[in-house]
Structure 1
Protein backbone atom coordinates (compact mmCIF):
# COMPACT_ATOMS: atom_id res chain seq x y z
CA UNK A 1 0.00 0.00 0.00
CA UNK A 2 1.12 3.52 -0.77
CA UNK A 3 2.35 5.67 2.11
CA UNK A 4 2.39 9.42 2.73
CA UNK A 5 5.97 9.80 1.44
CA UNK A 6 4.80 8.48 -1.98
CA UNK A 7 1.78 10.81 -1.96
CA UNK A 8 3.95 13.85 -1.22
CA UNK A 9 6.41 12.85 -3.94
CA UNK A 10 3.60 12.60 -6.51
CA UNK A 11 1.88 15.90 -5.62
CA UNK A 12 1.99 18.55 -8.34
CA UNK A 13 2.41 21.30 -5.75
CA UNK A 14 4.45 20.57 -2.68
CA UNK A 15 3.93 24.01 -1.14
CA UNK A 16 2.53 24.02 2.36
CA UNK A 17 1.03 27.36 3.23
CA UNK A 18 1.40 28.36 6.85
CA UNK A 19 0.37 31.26 9.03
CA UNK A 20 1.26 32.56 12.46
CA UNK A 21 -1.18 32.22 15.36
CA UNK A 22 -0.93 36.01 15.85
CA UNK A 23 -2.07 36.80 12.28
CA UNK A 24 -5.59 38.08 11.79
CA UNK A 25 -8.27 35.83 10.40
CA UNK A 26 -8.62 38.31 7.52
CA UNK A 27 -4.96 37.70 6.59
CA UNK A 28 -5.58 33.94 6.75
CA UNK A 29 -8.69 33.87 4.59
CA UNK A 30 -7.08 36.28 2.12
CA UNK A 31 -4.13 33.88 1.76
CA UNK A 32 -6.46 30.89 1.36
CA UNK A 33 -8.43 32.73 -1.33
CA UNK A 34 -5.27 33.82 -3.19
CA UNK A 35 -3.84 30.29 -3.18
CA UNK A 36 -7.14 28.50 -3.79
CA UNK A 37 -6.75 26.31 -0.72
CA UNK A 38 -9.09 25.21 2.06
CA UNK A 39 -6.74 25.15 5.04
CA UNK A 40 -3.59 26.67 6.47
CA UNK A 41 -1.22 25.03 8.91
CA UNK A 42 -0.65 27.33 11.87
CA UNK A 43 3.00 27.25 12.85
CA UNK A 44 5.30 28.61 15.52
CA UNK A 45 8.76 28.25 14.04
CA UNK A 46 8.84 24.83 12.40
CA UNK A 47 6.33 23.29 14.81
CA UNK A 48 2.63 22.81 14.13
CA UNK A 49 0.53 24.86 16.54
CA UNK A 50 -2.82 24.27 14.86
CA UNK A 51 -4.75 24.21 11.62
CA UNK A 52 -7.21 26.75 10.27
CA UNK A 53 -9.79 25.58 7.77
CA UNK A 54 -12.69 27.11 5.92
CA UNK A 55 -14.88 25.14 8.31
CA UNK A 56 -13.27 26.90 11.31
CA UNK A 57 -13.92 30.25 9.66
CA UNK A 58 -17.54 29.47 8.89
CA UNK A 59 -18.36 28.13 12.34
CA UNK A 60 -16.28 30.45 14.50
CA UNK A 61 -16.42 33.76 12.64
CA UNK A 62 -19.45 33.91 10.37
CA UNK A 63 -21.89 32.06 12.63
CA UNK A 64 -20.66 33.74 15.84
CA UNK A 65 -20.69 37.19 14.22
CA UNK A 66 -17.03 37.91 14.96
CA UNK A 67 -14.96 40.25 12.81
CA UNK A 68 -12.18 38.82 10.63
CA UNK A 69 -9.99 41.90 10.92
CA UNK A 70 -9.68 41.89 14.71
CA UNK A 71 -9.84 38.17 15.53
CA UNK A 72 -6.53 36.29 15.59
CA UNK A 73 -5.95 32.91 14.02
CA UNK A 74 -5.17 31.43 17.45
CA UNK A 75 -8.69 32.31 18.63
CA UNK A 76 -10.42 30.13 16.05
CA UNK A 77 -7.86 27.55 14.88
CA UNK A 78 -8.14 23.88 15.71
CA UNK A 79 -5.34 23.51 18.25
CA UNK A 80 -5.44 19.74 18.71
CA UNK A 81 -4.10 18.79 15.30
CA UNK A 82 -3.83 15.19 14.24
CA UNK A 83 -0.67 14.66 12.21
CA UNK A 84 0.82 11.80 10.23
CA UNK A 85 4.33 10.79 9.22
CA UNK A 86 5.91 9.76 5.93
CA UNK A 87 5.45 6.11 6.90
CA UNK A 88 1.68 6.38 7.49
CA UNK A 89 -0.26 4.47 4.84
CA UNK A 90 -2.92 6.04 2.66
CA UNK A 91 -5.43 3.63 4.16
CA UNK A 92 -4.56 4.75 7.70
CA UNK A 93 -4.91 8.40 6.65
CA UNK A 94 -8.28 7.81 5.00
CA UNK A 95 -9.55 5.94 8.06
CA UNK A 96 -8.39 8.77 10.33
CA UNK A 97 -9.96 11.42 8.11
CA UNK A 98 -13.24 9.51 7.92
CA UNK A 99 -13.41 8.84 11.66
CA UNK A 100 -12.50 12.41 12.66
CA UNK A 101 -14.23 14.25 9.77
CA UNK A 102 -11.01 15.85 8.51
CA UNK A 103 -9.99 17.03 5.06
CA UNK A 104 -6.32 17.83 5.69
CA UNK A 105 -3.51 16.16 7.61
CA UNK A 106 -0.16 17.84 8.29
CA UNK A 107 2.83 15.58 7.77
CA UNK A 108 5.41 15.85 10.55
CA UNK A 109 8.81 14.22 10.92
CA UNK A 110 11.04 14.79 13.96
CA UNK A 111 8.72 17.53 15.17
CA UNK A 112 8.99 19.49 11.91
CA UNK A 113 6.26 20.17 9.36
CA UNK A 114 7.28 18.62 6.03
CA UNK A 115 4.02 18.52 4.07
CA UNK A 116 0.26 18.42 3.98
CA UNK A 117 -2.03 15.79 2.48
CA UNK A 118 -5.63 16.40 1.56
CA UNK A 119 -8.48 13.98 1.08
CA UNK A 120 -8.13 14.59 -2.67
CA UNK A 121 -4.45 13.60 -2.60
CA UNK A 122 -5.32 10.37 -0.82
CA UNK A 123 -8.24 9.49 -3.10
CA UNK A 124 -5.99 10.03 -6.12
CA UNK A 125 -3.35 7.71 -4.64
CA UNK A 126 -5.98 5.07 -3.88
CA UNK A 127 -7.28 5.21 -7.45
CA UNK A 128 -3.72 4.78 -8.79
CA UNK A 129 -3.18 1.77 -6.52
CA UNK A 130 -6.44 0.21 -7.72
CA UNK A 131 -5.55 0.85 -11.36
CA UNK A 132 -2.18 -0.88 -10.91
CA UNK A 133 -3.81 -3.83 -9.15
CA UNK A 134 -6.36 -4.23 -11.96
CA UNK A 135 -3.58 -4.17 -14.55
CA UNK A 136 -1.61 -6.82 -12.61
CA UNK A 137 -4.66 -9.04 -12.27
CA UNK A 138 -5.47 -8.69 -15.99
CA UNK A 139 -1.89 -9.69 -16.87
CA UNK A 140 -2.06 -12.64 -14.48
CA UNK A 141 -5.38 -13.85 -15.93
CA UNK A 142 -4.31 -13.46 -19.55
CA UNK A 143 -1.07 -15.29 -18.83
Structure 2
Protein backbone atom coordinates (compact mmCIF):
# COMPACT_ATOMS: atom_id res chain seq x y z
CA UNK A 1 0.00 0.00 0.00
CA UNK A 2 1.21 3.46 -0.88
CA UNK A 3 1.65 6.05 1.85
CA UNK A 4 -0.20 9.35 1.55
CA UNK A 5 3.15 11.19 1.53
CA UNK A 6 4.14 9.38 -1.69
CA UNK A 7 0.78 10.18 -3.31
CA UNK A 8 1.29 13.87 -2.47
CA UNK A 9 4.77 13.77 -4.03
CA UNK A 10 3.37 12.31 -7.23
CA UNK A 11 0.80 15.08 -7.71
CA UNK A 12 1.77 17.58 -10.44
CA UNK A 13 0.55 20.45 -8.23
CA UNK A 14 0.48 19.77 -4.50
CA UNK A 15 -0.72 23.27 -3.62
CA UNK A 16 -3.49 23.26 -1.03
CA UNK A 17 -5.95 26.03 -1.76
CA UNK A 18 -7.56 27.69 1.22
CA UNK A 19 -10.18 30.35 1.81
CA UNK A 20 -11.36 32.48 4.70
CA UNK A 21 -14.67 31.67 6.40
CA UNK A 22 -15.72 35.27 5.80
CA UNK A 23 -15.26 35.00 2.02
CA UNK A 24 -18.34 34.83 -0.15
CA UNK A 25 -19.38 31.53 -1.65
CA UNK A 26 -19.06 33.20 -5.06
CA UNK A 27 -15.37 33.90 -4.34
CA UNK A 28 -14.90 30.28 -3.28
CA UNK A 29 -16.56 29.00 -6.44
CA UNK A 30 -14.44 31.30 -8.59
CA UNK A 31 -11.24 30.07 -6.93
CA UNK A 32 -12.31 26.45 -7.35
CA UNK A 33 -13.13 27.05 -11.02
CA UNK A 34 -9.85 28.88 -11.65
CA UNK A 35 -7.81 26.07 -10.05
CA UNK A 36 -9.90 23.18 -11.42
CA UNK A 37 -10.56 21.76 -7.97
CA UNK A 38 -13.63 20.55 -6.10
CA UNK A 39 -12.84 21.61 -2.54
CA UNK A 40 -11.19 24.32 -0.49
CA UNK A 41 -9.88 24.11 3.05
CA UNK A 42 -11.37 26.89 5.17
CA UNK A 43 -8.75 28.39 7.47
CA UNK A 44 -8.41 31.06 10.11
CA UNK A 45 -4.73 31.75 10.47
CA UNK A 46 -3.04 28.34 10.58
CA UNK A 47 -6.16 26.58 11.91
CA UNK A 48 -8.47 24.46 9.79
CA UNK A 49 -12.06 25.47 10.61
CA UNK A 50 -13.86 23.69 7.79
CA UNK A 51 -13.95 22.46 4.23
CA UNK A 52 -16.06 23.86 1.39
CA UNK A 53 -16.91 21.50 -1.46
CA UNK A 54 -19.01 21.44 -4.61
CA UNK A 55 -21.41 19.25 -2.64
CA UNK A 56 -21.79 21.99 0.00
CA UNK A 57 -22.68 24.43 -2.77
CA UNK A 58 -25.20 22.13 -4.41
CA UNK A 59 -26.97 21.20 -1.20
CA UNK A 60 -26.68 24.35 0.90
CA UNK A 61 -26.87 27.15 -1.66
CA UNK A 62 -28.68 26.08 -4.80
CA UNK A 63 -31.26 23.84 -3.11
CA UNK A 64 -31.91 26.23 -0.22
CA UNK A 65 -32.47 29.32 -2.34
CA UNK A 66 -29.42 31.21 -1.07
CA UNK A 67 -27.27 33.39 -3.29
CA UNK A 68 -23.57 32.85 -3.75
CA UNK A 69 -22.69 36.54 -3.77
CA UNK A 70 -24.03 37.30 -0.28
CA UNK A 71 -23.65 33.97 1.53
CA UNK A 72 -20.39 33.53 3.43
CA UNK A 73 -18.39 30.32 3.28
CA UNK A 74 -18.73 29.89 7.07
CA UNK A 75 -22.52 29.61 6.69
CA UNK A 76 -22.36 26.57 4.42
CA UNK A 77 -18.98 24.88 4.98
CA UNK A 78 -18.62 21.47 6.56
CA UNK A 79 -17.11 21.95 10.00
CA UNK A 80 -16.47 18.32 10.93
CA UNK A 81 -13.33 17.94 8.83
CA UNK A 82 -11.84 14.47 8.61
CA UNK A 83 -8.15 14.31 7.76
CA UNK A 84 -5.30 11.85 7.34
CA UNK A 85 -1.61 11.81 8.19
CA UNK A 86 1.19 11.42 5.61
CA UNK A 87 2.07 7.97 6.96
CA UNK A 88 -1.39 6.51 6.40
CA UNK A 89 -1.98 4.18 3.46
CA UNK A 90 -4.09 4.60 0.36
CA UNK A 91 -6.20 1.69 1.59
CA UNK A 92 -6.92 3.47 4.90
CA UNK A 93 -7.89 6.61 2.99
CA UNK A 94 -10.22 4.70 0.66
CA UNK A 95 -11.88 3.09 3.67
CA UNK A 96 -12.37 6.48 5.36
CA UNK A 97 -13.69 8.06 2.17
CA UNK A 98 -16.05 5.17 1.42
CA UNK A 99 -17.41 4.92 4.95
CA UNK A 100 -18.04 8.66 5.21
CA UNK A 101 -18.90 9.43 1.58
CA UNK A 102 -16.01 11.88 1.19
CA UNK A 103 -14.22 12.97 -1.97
CA UNK A 104 -11.43 15.02 -0.40
CA UNK A 105 -9.17 14.54 2.62
CA UNK A 106 -6.80 17.16 4.00
CA UNK A 107 -3.41 15.79 5.01
CA UNK A 108 -2.19 17.08 8.36
CA UNK A 109 1.25 16.48 9.86
CA UNK A 110 1.90 17.56 13.46
CA UNK A 111 -1.07 19.90 13.34
CA UNK A 112 0.04 21.53 10.09
CA UNK A 113 -1.87 21.30 6.78
CA UNK A 114 0.56 19.73 4.29
CA UNK A 115 -1.66 18.57 1.45
CA UNK A 116 -4.99 17.39 0.13
CA UNK A 117 -5.84 14.12 -1.56
CA UNK A 118 -8.93 13.37 -3.59
CA UNK A 119 -10.66 10.15 -4.47
CA UNK A 120 -9.18 10.61 -7.97
CA UNK A 121 -5.65 10.69 -6.53
CA UNK A 122 -6.31 7.42 -4.72
CA UNK A 123 -7.86 5.70 -7.73
CA UNK A 124 -4.91 6.74 -9.90
CA UNK A 125 -2.47 5.36 -7.31
CA UNK A 126 -4.34 2.07 -6.92
CA UNK A 127 -4.52 1.57 -10.70
CA UNK A 128 -0.79 2.24 -10.98
CA UNK A 129 -0.05 -0.22 -8.17
CA UNK A 130 -2.24 -2.92 -9.74
CA UNK A 131 -0.64 -2.38 -13.15
CA UNK A 132 2.80 -2.89 -11.61
CA UNK A 133 1.70 -6.12 -9.87
CA UNK A 134 0.18 -7.45 -13.12
CA UNK A 135 3.42 -6.72 -15.01
CA UNK A 136 5.44 -8.49 -12.32
CA UNK A 137 3.14 -11.54 -12.44
CA UNK A 138 3.26 -11.64 -16.25
CA UNK A 139 7.06 -11.54 -16.14
CA UNK A 140 7.12 -14.31 -13.56
CA UNK A 141 4.71 -16.50 -15.52
CA UNK A 142 6.52 -16.05 -18.84
CA UNK A 143 9.94 -16.29 -17.22
CA UNK A 144 11.11 -12.95 -18.65
CA UNK A 145 12.44 -11.40 -15.45
Q: TM-score range by the shorter chain?
A: over 0.9
- Pairing 1:1-143 to 2, within 5 Å after superposition: 1-143=1-143
Gaps of 5+ in 2: none
Gaps of 5+ in 1: none
- Structure 2 length-normalised TM: 0.94
Query: Which whole-Å CA distance do the structure 2 matches of 1:45 and 1:89 have between them?
Result: 29
Q: Which 4+ stretches in 1 moved above 3 angstroms?
A: none
Q: CA deviation at 1:132?
A: 1.2
Query: Which whole-Å CA distance do the structure 2 matches of 1:137 and 1:47 have between them?
Result: 46
Report if the CA contact (8 A) 1:103-1:119 is conserved: yes
Q: CA deviation at 1:140?
A: 2.3
The CA deviation string for residues 33-92 of structure 1, in whole angstroms up to 9 with x for no partner, is 111111111112222111100110111011111121221111100000000010110011
Report if the CA contact (8 A) 1:48-1:112 is conserved: no
Let me know the Cα RMSD of the aligned residues: 1.0
Aligned pairs, number: 143
